[in-house]
Structure formats: structure tokens, C-alpha cells
Amino acid sequence: MKKLICIVIILSATLHVQAQYCESQNMLDQLIWDDEKLNIYIDTRIDFQNLIEQGKLDNMSFVGQTVRIWLFGEVVPGIRYRIRHRINKLSETSLRDNYSGATDHAFLAFDIGSNWTITAGKQPVQIGTFENDYNGADVYLGTMVFNDFAGSATGVNVAYKFARQIMDVQVVNSDNSQFANTDYQNKALAINVLWIGDLFNKVI
């Protein structure tokens, strides 16, 4: 009798584990095959560069400028995510936000109604230069602002949409050494305000 009870318990546990495995497999299949929930992009740029000094060719090679992997999608309607990681960048870890320096984006965006969106995590800094709208692999020469400021930082962004306009208010870590007083080196925050939209082009 004891042997029979043990066998029944073992079979029940095995079936339970198998059911959990099948359920996980089904969820994984749904995630992989649903383009709205999971998109995987690989983004790269390779340049042919040569260095000529005093009329002589010193160096000539193909250089991989950037290799990025993107993961983005919608978990459920109104909750979106994005992860962008640079494979060819050293993965040093920032002391403040604990993200790898190679991770550009790692955030969740929550839509509240049709007008409000709250974004939390490592995200693009809303500084208003054209690089925010361009793929980084397509930017051959960035602006002075883009070169002097970190393009991504960890924080919270609140966006309000109205009449084809978007107003963004963002609070993120500020780690730019040229502005950091030693007293605020590890506790400085930046507040950014960005307006995106039309001024005279058929404003409704």
C-alpha cells in the first residue's frame, strides 16, 4: 500500500511539472510568434576608414561602429517595453543606476488613457537634438550637445498628448562631470522639458 501511494505521488508530481512545462512552452510560443509582444532587431553599421598622415597611408580597415540588439513590444495593451544593448561596447557598470554602460534603453512605458504616458527606466534623454529621432547607427557625426551629454539616463518621463502635440517632462540622473559639484556628484538630477509637435502645420 505504501509503495502504491509513493508511486501515485511521484506520478502526480511528474504530471504537475510536465503541465507547468507545457504551459510555459505555450506562453513562450505565444510571445515569440506574436509580433506585437516581442520584436527582435539587430542594428549595425560598418565603416571603411583610412588614415593618411603626411601623404602616406598609415591605416586602412573596416570598422564596426555599432552593433545593437533591440527587444521591444507590448506586454498587454497600454504597457510597452524596450531594451537596446550595444554588443560592441564595454559593459562597464554605472555606480548610480546599476545598468551596464552598454545598455542604452531598458524601460517600461505605461499609457494612462489616450493622453498620458509614464515611462520608467533607462531611456533617451529629452534634450531635443535630432539624434533623438534618428537611429544611432545612421548618425555619422553628432551635434556638440550629443557629444557632451549622455544620450541615455535612468529616470521617469511623463508625456501629455493634446491636439497633435506632445509635452514631455523628464527627471533623470545627471552624471555629466563638467557640471557636477563634488558635493552633488552622486545625487544630482536633471529636469528636461521637451515639446514635440506642429506649430503652424494644420494644428487642430
Q: In this predicted model, what pLDDT tens digit does every residue of 105-146 receive, in sequence order?
A: 999 999 999 999 999 999 988 887 777 667 777 777 777 777
H/E element holding 108?
A: strand 103-112
State how far Cα 13 lies from the chain centre.
40
Please compute, for residue 185, the number of CA atoms within 13 A of its CA located in the half-sphere on the CB side.
4
What is the model's pLDDT at position 108?
96
Average pLDDT, the chain: 79
pLDDT digits (tens, 9 = 90+) for 45-79: 888 888 888 888 888 899 888 889 999 999 889 99
For residue 194, give every residue at least 6 positions away whose Cβ sits within 8 Å of its Cβ, in sequence order, or none. 126, 127, 128, 167, 168, 170
Q: In what order do the strands lie in the sheet with 189-197?
A: 39-53, 56-76, 79-86, 103-112, 116-124, 152-162, 165-173, 189-197
For residue 100, give every residue at least 6 positions away whose Cβ sits within 8 Å of its Cβ, in sequence order, or none. 85, 91, 92, 93, 94
Using CA atoms, how far residue 171 sits from 1, 109, 115, 118, 167, in Å, is 67, 15, 19, 12, 14
The one-letter amino acid code at 114 reads: S
Judged against a pLDDT cut of 50, whether residue 20 lies above it is answered with no
DSSP assigned state of 177: T
Residue 183, helix vs strand vs coil: helix
Determine the average pLDDT of the residues in 32-47.
Answer: 79
Predicted TM-score (pTM) of the model is: 0.73
